[in-house]
Structure 1
Amino acid sequence: MPAIINRELGNIVIEDSVLANIAGISAMESYGIVGMASKNAADGIFELLRFENLSKGIVVNTEENEISIELHVVLEYGVKISTVGENIIERVKFNIENLTGLEVDKIEVLVEGIRLK
């Protein structure tokens, strides 16, 4: 369900895919992230996504303009996972709120794997 911003002259509708793209680009700017992961539900194997498919590793839920985001990520070996996760959350929240004017209620970072960069 898209996010809707009501204005005096009309509405601005922002699709979940746009929010997912912003979240993916923002996450990739964070230190320690190798990429987004697309999880294969059948066998639990993750696939590292290319830049143009980043949004496939992101789930956005928008209900009555309450936005929750789930990011499936692959991190670089040797980084402190909790610190990188916090940085991803802060960057994604800041960029979505700054670019759209919407408030993000919840962001979850799911670490699907660790790789050498």
Structure 2
Amino acid sequence: MSENNSVQMFEDHSQFGKVEISPEVIEIIAGIAASEIDGVGMLRGNFASGVAERLGRKSSHGKGVKVDLGDNGLKIEVYVITNYGVAIPEVCKKIQENIVQTLKNMTAIHVLSVDVHVVGVHFEEKNESDSTKKDQEV
């Protein structure tokens, strides 16, 4: 992992100074890009990120995203729960493509890899009120 915990945008320093991006910002961008894909139920973080989110110390948009700053670029891991009935390989490929494209457009950072971990499947819950309405209409 990088020692300074931020990504420098340009190697040459201009007269205006330098631009650095925090890994937390990259996590948020990647999290939003992943959640935009149809078939993604939600992102899944670990216990520590859930506690930090409840205490207000971390945004929910970066939950389920881990960024590793390397010398050559970024390695990103995304933990998702997909919706029931979707083609998981297609959804994962779309997640990877959207994250890479979004980070390229917004930050011009080279992404080495985007690893998508499917940790669950979300089933839609039927509401009892919906089923009783249908029974009453018939």
The normalised TM-score by structure 2 is 0.72
Structure showing the higher helix proportion among its residues: 2
Q: For this pair of structures, how many residues does the alignment match?
A: 109
Q: Give the equivalent residue in structure 2 for 1:77.
A: 84
Q: Give the equivalent residue in structure 2 for 1:109.
A: 116
Q: Give the equivalent residue in structure 2 for 1:99.
A: 106
Instruction: Identify which of 3, 8, 17 aligns with 2:14.
Output: 8
CA RMSD of aligned residues (A): 1.9
The normalised TM-score by structure 1 is 0.85
Question: Offset of 1:56 from its aligned partner?
Answer: 2.4
Q: Give the equivalent residue in structure 2 for 1:33.
A: 40
- Partner Cα separation in structure 2 for residue 64 and residue 3 of structure 1: 10
Which whole-Å deviations, capped at 9, do the CAs of 1:96-115 have from their partners, x for residues lacking one?
11000111111000001001
Following TM superposition, the consecutive aligned residue runs of length 4 or more in structure 1 with deviations greater than 4 angstroms are none
Higher RCO (C-alpha 8 Å, min separation 6): 1
The unaligned stretches of length 5 or more in structure 1 are none
Identity percentage of aligned residues = 28
Contact residue 34 and residue 74 of structure 1 kept, 8 A: yes
